[in-house]
Structure 1
Amino acid sequence: MTPITKMTEQIGRRKIDIDDPRFRIKPHQQIASACTGGIITSLIMTPLDVVKTRIQTQQKLLLSNKCFLYCNGLMDHLCPCGPNSAPMKNHVHLNGTIDAVLKISRSEGIKSLWSGLGPTLVSALPSTVIYFVSYEQIRNHTKDWHNKYIGTSGMPVYVPLFSGVLSRIFAVTLVSPLELIRTKMQSQKMTYKEMTTAVRSMINAEGALVLWKGLPPTIYRDVPFSGIYWSCYEALKWYYQVTEPTFGFSFTAGALSGSIAATITTPFDLIKTYQQIEFGEQVIYTDKPRQNIPIKTTTQRLKEVYRAHGVRGLFVGLGPRLAKVAPACAVMISSFEYGKSFFYNLNVHRYDEKLLIMQNVNNHAK
C-alpha cells in the first residue's frame, strides 16, 4: 500500500466534527450561510404573516389612526390602517388563509403578499447576519476556552446559553437606532434629508439615548428567547449525538426549540407588541407631542395585565405566536445549518487536497 493510498483511506475514515478547528467555518462563510437563511426565511414567511395579519386586523380597518404589526420571522413591521392606507382602500372581507391569498392577490396584486419584504431585506437581514455570525464566533471561542481550561469535551449548557444571550444583545443594540429610523421613514414618507433633521431634533431634545428608546422591551423579549432557543437546540443535537445536522433534523429541532422559547417569552412579546402599537398610534401616526404621552415600564405593564386577566392574560396570542415563530425558526436554522454543512465539507475537501499534494511532493523529493 502506497503512502498516498494509506492517507486516502485515513481521510475516508475520518470522523465528522463540524467544530474541528482545521475545518471550522470561516466568518465570511458564516455570513453567506446566515444571509441565505435570512433570505429564504423572509421569502417563505412574509406571505404567511401578511395573510394572518390581514385576517386578524380586518375588523379594525374602519378605525382611523391605527396600525398593525407584521412579523415575518426576521423583523417587526408597523403598517398604518387609517382610512387612506393601502389596506383600507383595497379592503375585502377575508375568510380563511386560501381565500385571503386569492382575494389579496386579485385586488392588490400578488406582490402585496410580500408587503414589508423590502424593509426586511434592507434592515433585518443585516441584523440576522450579525446575530448568527456573532453566535457562532462566541460559541466557538467559549467552547474552545472551556475545553482548554476546564478540560472536558462536549457542549456544556452554559455555552449556547451565554452565546445566545450575548449575540442577541449585541445584534439588537447595534440595529436599534436603525429600526427607529426605518419605522419613522416608512410611516411618514420622509426623505433622507428630512430624516436627518428629525433625528438631530430628537437627539437635541432628549439626548442620544433616544435612538435606543425601544431597546429595553426588545431585550426583555429577544434575549431570553435567544438563550433558551440555542440551549434547547444544542441540547437536542447532543442528546441525539448529531454532529452534522441534516436538513430534516435541524428543521424539526429548530421548530421545537423555537416553540419552547416562544412559549416562555410570550408575556414579554405581549408587552413589546402593546408598546409598538401604542408608539405607532400615539407618536408615529399622530402629531401628539411626545412629552404628553405617559411612559410605563415593562414591569408595570406586566403587573397591569396580570391584575386584569391573571396568568392566562400574560399568554394571550401564544397560538398565533407559535404559528409564526416555529416555522420561522425551523426554516432559518435548517437553511443556516445546510449552508454550514456545505462550507464544512468544502473546507475538508480543500484541506485533504493540500495534504495529498504535500504528500505527493515529499514522495517525489525522496
Structure 2
Amino acid sequence: MIQKSRPALLQPQDVGDGVDTLVLHPVIKAFLCGSISGTCSTLLFQPLDLLKTRMQTLQPSAHGSRRVGVLALLRTVVRTESVLGLWSGMSASIVRCVPGIGIYFGTLYSLKQYFLRGHPPTALESVILGVGSRSVAGVCVSPITVIKTRYESGRYGYGSIYAALRSIYRSEGHRGLFSGLTATLLRDAPFSGIYLMFYNQTKNIMTHDQPDAVLIPVVNFGCGLFAGVLASLVTQPADVIKTHMQLSPMRFRWIGQAVTFIFKDYGLRGFFQGGVPRALRRTLMAAMAWTVYEEMMAKMGLKS
C-alpha cells in the first residue's frame, strides 16, 4: 500500500546551483500572519477590553447603583491609575492574543485546505470552521485568558505572568487555570462562527464586481465591522458570565451559579454590561486582524 507523505513544516526548495533553501509550510505562514495581525490589534484596543472588564464587575455605590458610563469609567481609570493604566494587563493580552490568534488562523487555514479543497465556504461551513478553529485556540490559551481577566479587573496584584500561573495553580489547582473555560468557549466559538459566516458572505457580495486592488483592504475592513457588530451582540451574555467565573472561581463553579448571581443582582441588563466597549474592541480588533491577515497572506502568495 502506498502511503502519502505529509508535507513537512519546513520544506527544501531548489533555488539553482545546487543550493536548497528552507520554505515555511503554508500553515506556519498563516500562523505568523495571524500572530502579527493579533499584535497590532491587541496593542491598539487593549483599553477597550479593560473598560469592558471593569464595567462587568462594578461594585454597587452607596446608592445601590452599578450603572456607570464608558466615558465616566475612562476618566476614573485615567485619574486614579494614569493613562498607562488603560493598558493594564497588556503583557497577558499579548501572551494570549498573539499565539491565540496565530493558532486560530493556522487552524482555520488547515481546516479550509483539508475540507474545502479550494472552493469557497457556504454559510454553514463558515460557522463550523469558525467554531472549530476558535475552540482549539481557546483551550490552548485558557490559562492566560484567566490571568488577563484578573489583571484587567484591578482586584489582583500578580507580579508577573509566571507568578500568576504559580499562584493560581497553588491556591486553586489546575481547575483555576481553566476556570470559565466553558463560558469562554460559549462566547468565543459562536462569535467566531457567526463572524466568519457574515464576513465571508458580505465579502463575496462586495467583491463580486472585482473592486480595484486599492479598495480591497477597505472592503475587507468594512465587512469585518459589519460581521463584528452582529457577532458581539449575540455573544455578550456569555462574556459577562465568563468574566465572573474567572474572577471568582471558588464562588462560581459552574455556569448556572454565575447566571443566577448576575440575574439576581443585576437583572437582565447585567448580561449586557460592558457591551459597548466590548463591541467596539471585538469589532475593530477582528476587522483589523482580518484585514492585516488577508493582506499578508496575499503578499505571501497564499489564499486565506
Answer yes or no: same fold by TM over 0.5.
Answer: yes
Q: Does 1:118 align with 2:91?
A: yes
Secondary structure of the structure 1 residue equivalent to 2:252: coil
Structure 1: unaligned runs, 5 residues or longer? 1-24, 64-93, 148-152, 280-292, 349-366
C-alpha contact 1:139 1:160 (8 A) present in aligned 2: no
> Match for residue 169 of structure 2?
199
Once the two structures are TM-superposed, the CA of residue 278 in structure 1 deviates from its matched residue by 3.3
Closer/same/farther in 2, CA of residues 129 and 306 from structure 1, 3 Å limit: same
Closer/same/farther in 2, CA of residues 216 and 107 from structure 1, 3 Å limit: closer
Structure 1 window deviating more from structure 2 (218-227 vs 316-325): it is: 316-325
Closer/same/farther in 2, CA of residues 55 and 217 from structure 1, 3 Å limit: closer
Closer/same/farther in 2, CA of residues 241 and 268 from structure 1, 3 Å limit: same
Structure 1 window deviating more from structure 2 (125-134 vs 183-192): it is: 183-192
> Match for residue 258 of structure 1?
228
Structure 1 window deviating more from structure 2 (324-333 vs 257-266): it is: 324-333
Secondary structure of the structure 2 residue equivalent to 1:188: coil
Structure 2: unaligned runs, 5 residues or longer? 1-24, 63-68
Once the two structures are TM-superposed, the CA of residue 54 in structure 1 deviates from its matched residue by 10
> Match for residue 329 of structure 1?
286
Once the two structures are TM-superposed, the CA of residue 47 in structure 1 deviates from its matched residue by 4.2
Q: Deviations over 1:252-311 (max 9, x none)?
A: 1111111111111112112122323434xxxxxxxxxxxxx4435324544665677775
Q: Does 1:267 align with 2:224?
A: no
Closer/same/farther in 2, CA of residues 154 and 191 from structure 1, 3 Å limit: closer
Q: Structure 2: how far apart are the matches of 1:95 and 1:312?
A: 15
Q: Structure 1: how far apart are the matches of 2:93 and 2:246?
A: 17
> Match for residue 276 of structure 1?
246
Find the structure with the greater CA-based Rg. Answer: 1
Closer/same/farther in 2, CA of residues 201 and 319 from structure 1, 3 Å limit: closer
**Aligned residues between the structures:** 265
> Match for residue 127 of structure 1?
100
Closer/same/farther in 2, CA of residues 169 and 55 from structure 1, 3 Å limit: closer
Closer/same/farther in 2, CA of residues 61 and 44 from structure 1, 3 Å limit: farther
Counterpart of 2:196 (choices 230, 243, 250) is: 230
Once the two structures are TM-superposed, the CA of residue 130 in structure 1 deviates from its matched residue by 0.5
Letter in 2 for 1:227: G
Letter in 1 for 2:159: K
> Match for residue 178 of structure 2?
212
> Match for residue 187 of structure 1?
157
Structure 1 window deviating more from structure 2 (27-36 vs 219-228): it is: 27-36
C-alpha contact 2:184 2:242 (8 A) present in aligned 1: yes
User: Map of 1:17-36 to 2, 5 A cutoff?
Assistant: 26-36=26-36
Secondary structure of the structure 2 residue equivalent to 1:246: helix
User: Map of 1:4-83 to 2, 5 A cutoff?
Assistant: 26-49=26-49, 52=51
Counterpart of 2:143 (choices 159, 174, 177) is: 177
Q: Deviations over 1:60-101 (max 9, x none)?
A: 6999xxxxxxxxxxxxxxxxxxxxxxxxxxxxxx9949x959
Q: Structure 2: how far apart are the matches of 1:56 and 1:231?
A: 29
Letter in 2 for 1:33: C
User: Map of 1:119-158 to 2, 5 A cutoff?
Assistant: 119-144=92-117, 153-158=119-124
Q: Structure 1: how far apart are the matches of 2:276 and 2:164?
A: 40
Q: Does 1:246 align with 2:216?
A: yes
Q: Structure 1: how far apart are the matches of 2:227 and 2:161?
A: 41
Q: What do you get for the CA RMSD once the two structures are aligned?
A: 4.2
**Normalised TM-score (structure 1):** 0.59
Q: Deviations over 1:133-175 (max 9, x none)?
A: 111211222211xx7xxxxx54222221111111111111122
Letter in 2 for 1:29: K
Letter in 1 for 2:29: Q
Closer/same/farther in 2, CA of residues 176 and 257 from structure 1, 3 Å limit: same
Closer/same/farther in 2, CA of residues 163 and 201 from structure 1, 3 Å limit: same
Closer/same/farther in 2, CA of residues 237 and 314 from structure 1, 3 Å limit: same
> Match for residue 299 of structure 2?
342
C-alpha contact 1:246 1:338 (8 A) present in aligned 2: no
C-alpha contact 2:38 2:289 (8 A) present in aligned 1: yes
User: Map of 1:86-105 to 2, 5 A cutoff?
Assistant: 96=71, 100=75, 104=78
Letter in 1 for 2:185: I
Once the two structures are TM-superposed, the CA of residue 330 in structure 1 deviates from its matched residue by 1.6
